[in-house]
Amino acid sequence: MKDNIFAELYNKLLGFFRQAEEEESAKDVACNRLRVVLMQDRTNLTPQLLERMRSELVELLSKYLEMDKEALELNLDQEGEQMALMLSIPVIRAKDEEEIEKALAEAETEKEENEPSEEEVEETDDVEESEQTEDETEEVSEKEEVKEFPNKEICGDCRECELSDDIECEKKEINKTAKKSK
Amino acid sequence: MSGRVIVITSGKGGVGKTTTNANIGTALAKAGNKVVMIDTDLGLRNLDLLLGLENRIVYTIVDVVEERCKLKQALVKDKKNPNLCLLAAAQTRDKTAVTQEQLKDICDQLKKDYDFILVDCPAGIEQGFQNAVAGATEAIVVTTPEMSAVRDADRIIGLLEAKEEIESYKLLLNRVRPNLIKSNDMMSVEDVVEILSADLIGIIPEDTGIITSTNKGEPIVNDEKSLAGRAYMNVARRIMGEDVPFMNLEEETSVVAKVKKFFKGLMGKEK
């Protein structure tokens, strides 16, 4: 009996410290992984189709953002009856206006060749924007822990500030307003 | 009389289908119902072992189908409970030896004389599963709080939903370990229920008693002191339509409960 009491106490203590570390518990990992895999099982999206969707999204988004293409995560999630598409993209930097214009122009010429319907493009655009803001906030929370000090020092004329969302500087503000005005 | 045909299935192997079948069957029979269990796991039969009936089997379901004996001759009566009997699977044949129609026909015949027909389904989603489900109108999906088992249960639920004959299915969560759930190392009952969005019919705690009961060939429901045995009894009562609250496993397995149980055991011995 005594052994049991001590074992329980020990586990409680361990559990307490684990929580303090804010490490994702095995249970949460299991739940999240399961949700993803079940979503794939339930929809008839094969890995090939998902991969195709992924690459098309990368193509589209890279017109506007420079991002880590390999790290793009595409998940389907179920919230009650609703199915949600979760997109997580580590943004390296936002492209400036010129680059975007150029990319769009390039796409335009391609479009003329292929003629996809405009509605589709608009729809996906909307989704991306909302997803993107979500992901940016996610990114911030992740990166905050790692890069707190070094960036503030560098933040001058260089582009370091753009790499990370947690640093505010003049240049970034300008970029932001430029984005908004669009 | 028109009995209820319940198939006990899981998709994944080793989650406790056969144990569940043996225990629910025994519990239902103990409560006064006439119960017959059908093992459809042709080639890999085990239900006879869990019930301790392996030496009494003369005819199997294949013998019935191939008309070497009458259905009643193939039913093996339980050692303790005359209300309970088993229709064993053939150990030397494969899943193709019995067809869906034949199994449905057997279920229909048994319905006339028995309150409950429990069909023990083989693992997997192939022919064996399709056969086992053929005669049933209800299903119990057994799973454990492990990812692979939950995923397979989800697949099975999808298949059951597509079957018109299956009027309802319930989830039975087996091998639950309250300590691991408490420390957030294992998915909780709520997690699994939410992920699968299915109705729950029972929560069975992990119990070492299952091993000894299997070794002895005696279902654990016969041991009224065991937690898993009581949990199985509750499942049987729920199947019969009683409204039985779910056990609080965390409380039951806590140190205090163990101390209480220990003293109760002492007192019992003194008497």
Residue A73's DSSP bridge partners are A88
The CA distance from A22 to the nearest CA of chain B, in Å, is 12
Instruction: Give the number of A-B residue pairs with CB atoms closer than 8 Å.
Output: 53
Span B148-196, pLDDT tens digits = 999 999 999 999 999 999 999 999 999 999 999 999 999 999 999 999 9
How is residue B236 annotated by DSSP? Answer: H
For A128-171, what is each residue's pLDDT tens digit?
Answer: 444 444 444 444 433 333 333 344 444 445 455 555 555 555 44
pLDDT at position A164: 54
Task: State both tokens at B230.
Answer: 């009581």
Instruction: Please give the C-alpha separations between residue A32 and each of A106, B28, B106, in angstroms, as whole numbers.
Output: 39, 38, 43
- Six token digits for residue B115: 């309150």
Retrieve residue A148's tokens.
């707190």
Question: Which pairs from B252-258 meet CB under 8 Å and 24+ separation?
Answer: B252/B178, B252/B205, B252/B227, B253/B178, B253/B179, B253/B205, B253/B227, B255/A1, B255/A4, B255/A5, B255/A8, B258/A1, B258/A4
Assess whether pLDDT exceeds 90 at residue B45: yes
Query: Looking at residue A81, what is its pLDDT?
Result: 60
Q: Is B146 left (phi over 0), alpha (psi -120 to 50) or beta?
A: beta
Q: Mean of the pLDDT values across residues B196-213?
A: 94
CB atoms within 10 A of CB B4: 18
CA dist B140 and B244 (Å) reads 17
Report chain B's mean pLDDT, rounded to a whole number: 92
Over range B74-100, report the average pLDDT: 93
Instruction: Work out the pLDDT band at B254, boundaries 50, 70, 90.
Output: confident
Residue A163 CA to residue B230 CA, distance in Å, equals 60
To the nearest whole angstrom, how far is the Cα of A167 from the nearest Cα of chain B? 35
Structure tokens at B47: 């239900």
Residue predicted with more confidence, A111 or B214: B214
Q: Residue B270 and residue B26: Cα distance in Å, rounded?
A: 30
Vertex B237: Cα angle to B233 and B241 (nearest 5): 165
pLDDT of residue A123: 44
- Pairing relationship of beta strands B138-143 and B84-87 according to DSSP bridges: unpaired
- As a three-state string, the secondary structure of B107-141 is HHHHHCCCCEEEEECCCCCCHHHHHHHHCCCEEEE
At the top level of CATH, which class does the domain B4-270 belong to? alpha beta
The total number of residues shown for chain A amounts to: 182
Q: What is the mean pLDDT of residues B110-117?
A: 96
What pLDDT score does A141 carry?
39
Mutation for testing the A interface, residue in B185, B189, B251 having most A CBs under 10 Å: B185
Instruction: Look at A27 and B150 and tell me if their CB atoms are within 8 Å.
Output: no
The one-digit pLDDT tens for each residue of chain A (182 residues) are 556 777 777 777 666 665 555 678 888 999 988 887 887 788 777 778 878 888 888 888 888 888 887 777 777 766 666 677 778 888 888 888 888 888 888 888 877 777 655 444 444 444 444 444 444 444 443 333 333 334 444 444 545 555 555 555 544 544 444 444 44
- Nearest by CB to residue A34, choosing from B150, B255, B258, is B150
Half-sphere exposure of B145 (CA within 13 A, CB side): 28
Nearest Cα of chain B lies from the Cα of A41 at a distance, in angstroms, of: 8
Q: Which candidate from A18, A25, A33 shows the least CB-CB separation from B147?
A: A33
Collapsing DSSP to helix, strand or coil, B246 comes out as coil
Could you tell me if B136 and B107 are in contact, meaning their C-beta atoms sit under 8 angstroms apart? yes
- Residue with more model confidence, B33 or A149: B33
* DSSP labels, B63-117: HHHTTSS-HHHHEEEPSS-TTEEEEPPPSSS-GGGS-HHHHHHHHHHHHTT-SEE
| Lowest-confidence region among A80-84, A108-112, B217-221, B257-261 | A80-84
